[in-house]
Chains A and B, each alone.
Chain A
Amino acid sequence: MNLSSFLCSSALLAVAGLQVNAQKPPKGFEKIDQEIVISTMEAQMKYDVRSFSVKPNANVKLVFKNPDALPHNLIICTPGKKKGGDRGREVVDAVLKLGDKGVEQNWEPKGHPRILVSSGMVQPKKEVILYFKAPKKEGDYPYICTFPGHFQLMNGVMGVSRLANPITNLTYKFFHGGWDKMPDFSKMEPKKTGVLASGLFDISPRDKGDDFGFVFTGEIECPKDGKYTFVTSSDDGSQLLIDGKLVVDNDGVHGVQSRSGSVTLKKGKRSIEVRFFEKSGGEELSVGWSGPGIKNQALSKSSPGGGGEEAIGLLVEPPEGEASVYRNFINGAGPRAIGVGYHEGVNLAFDANNLRLAMIWQGDFIDGARHWKGRGAGYQPPAGEAVIKFPEGVAFATLESSDTAWPKAEYRTKDFRFRGYVLDKSQRPTFKYERGGVAIEDTPLPVSGAEGEFGQIKRVIKLKAKDAPANLYFRIAQGGFEKKGDTFQSSELSVTVKGANPSVQAGDLRVPISFKGGTAEFEVTYAWAN
């Protein structure tokens, strides 16, 4: 099923004006992963929640209350070209273009590609419940009221992040200045302010490496009455306050150092503030908490006190318009793995021991922390989601017949020789390897997905041989594939091949290679199944 149509239909589940308790969750939402309550603020033209975060694919229940005297709606938009940076303006502009039709359509540009979820117009003193599945793709999803004139003030951001947490309304103020102790930021003019929709304390919005400070404020939802412990790990100083009271004092100029503090809190939302400053050298801020039912949950991209086992915090992010290469021990691709992250949001790992595509995945590329902190022990898995693994062992083999069992997987094959790769202008590799007298050029390329959709990977494989071998086969994947039109579908993967005739043989999706004049070429497109 197409993602956007699914989300549109789920938006229809919202029924305006009904009592909350009377509304039963639709099928598939028996179990709710996250519940959010957003209310309009009377006579202020604002939502009370300006940011919240949810995990990818989470079942979300969103209660939208409108105690105000005016009608309002809440439309969650996809990130768009500016990755959420336009706060959904594109959708508001579409409302203006509706002109006279605007009133009839309740000020909603129905069918706009950036609309993810809509509450419909909610009349004064009414409320609606929305059930929806959070998008697969991490990012900032703005939400807005599209009633004319409201947008400027009535907007917020839903962060979709695997590290989603119970912090809402997280904002930052960024300061310049050199200090040896935590200064009184309240008397200073910030250089910059912003929203952190992911709910994660994050010092990356800085514009310099030394002599700066941050004040973060937000609200944290305590699930139960009880004792809560907060920890900060920072270089240099940090402090954490709950309801305005200092709980963690990690002040002063120092290397990465962890301090914690405990406080007894009632169930419900508490204000949380973190102050941080950096003098010179390295800089780091991690925040976490523990409490009833919560064990060492990170409230920042890196988790504090992880010690040597910590394997997140150094995400490798492909630069704009480029691919990044990461050669190391990658879980699922072996010790001689070559990870490639494409800026388009798709990733792969190539196994240079067996000259095969080992894995593809979506979202974040890979975190370098395991290999770049401490001695670098162990295999690092992909950082992103929707990981698809391909069979171990070689991907090319000569077979007696098309349904002969595929040769057993070896740790490292001796049949092949890895020759390296060339990078194009966008740093995207074409892998080169040899099998006997056959030279193979293997070019994976990213294909961007539509808004809210996964991208794909297209792979062009060219072979050259003086004496073309007979009965050479290429194994694309393993598992239950069914042919539907031109594509072969399994539960996770949808494969199309151009320039060759794949078939399902002995549990594999295989391609016979037929050489013409000593060369062969075909193209495989890997798409994630819905």
Chain B
Amino acid sequence: MKKSPVFSAVLASMLSISVSFAQPVESDYYPITTIPLPEGEVIEVSGIDILPGNKVAIASRRGDIFVGEDLFGEDPEPKWSLFARGLHEVLGIAWKDGWLYLTQRPEVSRIKDSDGDGRADVFETLGDGWGINGDYHEYAFGTRHDKDGNIWVVLCLTGSGGADDKSPFRGWCMRVTPDGKTIPTGYGIRSPGGIGFNHLGDVFYCDNQGLWNGSSSLKHLRPGGFQGNPTGNKYFALTDALGPKPPDPKDGSRIEVERSKVPDLVPPPIVLPHGKMGNSPAGIECDETGGKFGPFANQLFVSEQTHSKVHRVFLEKVNGFYQGAAFPFLKGFGSGNIVARFAVDGSMFTGGTNRGWGSHGKNPFSFQRVNWTGKVPFEVHEMRAKADGFELTFTQAADPVSLEKISSYTMEAYTYIYKSGYGSPVVDKTIPSIKKAVSGKDGKSVRIHIEGLVKGNVHELKMPGIRLKGSEQPLLHDVAYYTLNEIPKG
């Protein structure tokens, strides 16, 4: 089979430039570079971390760890070496103090090359306080270390919606401490696709559409928090860590309704509307490069497996709850994106696979790098909820006239049924009315006044009419999805 061209995204952009020179495309700002992997190896990249000396470690679903050097530069020709083989589906790696920490299906482990031959020879099991029963769905995704040195692990249910007696704590979030304790930390998880921190060290994960998940979403793992799927609540019988078993939510309701009755239910900060944004959100990576990756400091970048994309997420805290907006960011990756990791130079490494679940990118696996060219794309930078609408800021000054035209915008609000069955159609659709849009002085922000905001619902804002100042250039991505669980007080 022929490999797809190395720089398909770049090629596509060159073609479009030659045909119609007018509109910029994603790759003008964020080109994707494919990084060659060792010949003959199948590396379905499921974990990436940066090692001292600018080396990069990658883990694979087959359970191998490779370490690469010379992955930077325009046309990288990396040197790869095998660090470890035969581990149990590693979905999370983290380098710390000479050890590589791994989240394998049954345990968090740490491994080390003690004799300096380049291959790991010490494999220590750190924490394994959960069970597996042989079901392929029982995935375990792990973070890097939090500020206390813990690794957070989210455990997929047994099958798509079960919780086997032989495999305790499916559907739970566990923390593995530096001294090897496994602490039950949260519950209500269905099928995670990845986990990560924001710049403050708070922990988020993506859960996929399915039972009790009307749409896929990005969720906040607050200790003691309930993420919405009660299947794993039976394991309250095994631990006192989170108090008594809470009541089950009502089937066929709405998150907004049930959260008033089930106090620990954490509403998803970001609903990623199924089919519109993607079908299968995965890893979460925060831009802490201090501007080396462009203007989106401290925002989250979410890998999307089915659509072979990376989304961008802005979060704010309203009334004590995280919520915010998701934006399209970059498409055209080689396979199904699973993880992303920033390097110190501002490179974002991405890895993916489409085994078992297909992806738009047709390669069975890929390892790529995204770099910012230094050109600032014209994008919505942040989107904040206000008592009567939203405030948007932009990465570049917009044409104030286009910002203030009501016809520059359309808005829909909707949600999904909170039910035990699989997924949900879009329901409760309304058209909030945009009353007024007021440009900030410099054209770098706009305040949109709206009647008919719906608490709990996704607010899909389209902005086809907004133009760059002094130009006919529209936004690079003119849509945002804000999940309005909380409305700030006036």
Contacts and interface: CB of A to CB of B under 8 A. Distances in A.
Interface of A: 209, 235-236, 253-256, 279-282, 316, 324-329, 334-336, 339, 352, 368, 371-379, 411-412, 418-425, 427, 429
A339 B63 CA distance: 13
B23 interface: no
6 contacts: A280-B2, A282-B1, A324-B86, A327-B87, A374-B355, A376-B356
A432 to B, nearest CB: 8
Nearest to A331: B134
Closest 6 CB pairs of A and B: A325-B86, A375-B356, A327-B88, A335-B134, A255-B1, A281-B1
Contacts of A327: 63, 86-88, 104
Contact of A374 (B85, B107, B115, B356): B356
The prevalent SS among residues of B at the interface is loop
B223 interface: no
B2 A253 contact: yes
A281 B135 CA distance: 31
Residue among A352, A423, A429 with the highest chain B CB neighbour number at 10 A: A423
Given A327-B63, A373-B355, 9 more contacts: A256-B1, A279-B2, A327-B104, A328-B88, A335-B132, A336-B106, A372-B62, A374-B355, A376-B61
Residue among B105, B120, B134 with the highest chain A CB neighbour number at 10 A: B134
B354 to A, nearest CB: 11
Interface in B394-446: none
A254 B1 CA distance: 5
A378 B122 CA distance: 29
Contact of A281 (B3, B89, B125): B3
B128 interface: yes
Residue among B88, B109, B131 with the highest chain A CB neighbour number at 10 A: B88
Given A255-B1, A326-B86, A336 B132 contact: yes
B124 interface: yes
Interface string B149-171: 00000000000000000110000
Contact of B125 (A209, A329, A419, A423): A419
B40 interface: yes
A420 B1 contact: no
B1 A352 contact: no
Given A324-B86, A412-B131, A420 B124 contact: yes
Contacts of B355: 372-376
Contact of A352 (B106, B133, B357): B106
Contacts of A253: 1-2
Interface in B106-142: 106-107, 109, 115, 117, 119-125, 128, 131-136
B39 interface: yes
A373 B42 CA distance: 11
Nearest to A329: B134
Contacts of B117: 425
B464 interface: no
Nearest to B364: A282
Contacts, number: 98
A412 B166 contact: yes
Contacts of A424: 121
A328 B133 CA distance: 11
Nearest to B42: A372
Nearest to B88: A327
Nearest to A374: B356
A421 B84 CA distance: 13
Given A372-B42, A372-B62, A375-B136, A422 B1 contact: no
Nearest to B60: A372
Contacts of B356: 374-376
Nearest to B90: A327
B106 A420 contact: no
A470 B430 CA distance: 74
A476 B105 CA distance: 29
Interface string B343-375: 000000000000111000000100000000000
Contacts of A422: 121-123
Contact of A368 (B62, B120, B136): B62
Contacts of A334: 134
B192 to A, nearest CB: 16
A487 B243 CA distance: 56
Residue among B86, B124, B135, B364 with the highest chain A CB neighbour number at 10 A: B86
A107 to B, nearest CB: 45
A419 B123 CA distance: 8
A255 B3 CA distance: 10
Nearest to B39: A209
A501 B136 CA distance: 43
Nearest to A372: B62
Contacts of B364: 282
A307 to B, nearest CB: 13
A255 B358 CA distance: 15
A326 B120 CA distance: 15
A407 to B, nearest CB: 18
Nearest to B117: A425
B123 A235 contact: no
Contacts of A420: 109, 122-125
A316 B122 CA distance: 22
A380 to B, nearest CB: 10
B220 to A, nearest CB: 28
Contacts of A375: 136, 355-357
Contacts of B106: 335-336, 352
A377 B158 CA distance: 12
A111 to B, nearest CB: 42
Nearest to B109: A420
